[in-house]
Amino acid sequence: MSTVRLCHLYPAEMSIYADRGNIAVLRRRLEWRGMTLEVTGAGLGEPIDDTFDVYYLGGGQDRDQEVVAADLGPTKADALRSATDDGAVFLAVCGGYQLAGHGYTGVDGSRMPGIGLLDVDTVASTGPRLIGDVIIDAELDGVHRRLVGFENHAGRTSLGDVRPLGRVVHGHGNDGASGGEGATRDHIIGTYLHGPLLPKNPALADAVLGWALGHAGHDAALEPLDDALETRAHAVAASRAGVRR
């Protein structure tokens, strides 16, 4: 039986946006195909290795993000860089996205260092929070995907030598002005889309699983599933934003 190994980073501190729902989707979509997901949590002070196929880092409050930022570099950064250089998947959502970059500067000027997996940097704005339904047009493995989700962040994220995950069709995205949302390179994805992200975007979930299976040495081709319910959820999210599929 094919097994994918996932490391859930800071499940106690960085899981406020239904992040466990994303992991549940990955588990179920593998099980429906006769495969398994093995999940290992890694919290504060717990070193990790570079042998996992997927690493997941979710969202958290600023106070939790500050604690995680102080721990991430000393205990996990080297393994994450090694693993992603070897083709492992890294999926980071909201606060996790900010820490996957060079860092996050809070509204009080405090600096939370990131680990630089993505060439992005985030600064908290004193202006309005960027909140609401989001729709983006993304391209993964050369295939166009329309992704939906919800955003709620004060951060304004600027991109360096990295491409956005997608073009904003509706919503704010990285900074409310550039027209881009998230960032991606290789098999690393950072995004502000949550709520959670994967139940409404089965194509993205399967892209992540295909990458992970390939990294684990298994056949990356996935049998199609009946995604009628997921497609309905996607359509509801899009209609709530006033955009048709």
**Catalytic positions:** 94, 194
Task: Dig out the tokens for 17 from the structure.
Answer: 């946006």
Distance CA 27, CA 159 (A): 31
Distance CA 231, CA 242 (A): 16
Three-class secondary structure of residue 113 per DSSP: strand
Q: Which of 63, 128, 56 is nearest to 97 (CA)?
A: 56
DSSP 8-67: EE-TTTS--SSHHHHHHHHHHHHHTTT-EEEEEEE-TT----S--SEEEE----HHHHHH
Distance CA 154, CA 159 (A): 16
Distance CA 89, CA 71 (A): 21
Distance CA 123, CA 146 (A): 27
CA distances from residue 72 to 28, 43, 147 in whole angstroms, order as listed: 29, 9, 29
* 86 burial type by CB count under 10 A (0-12 exposed, 13-18 middle, 19+ buried): exposed
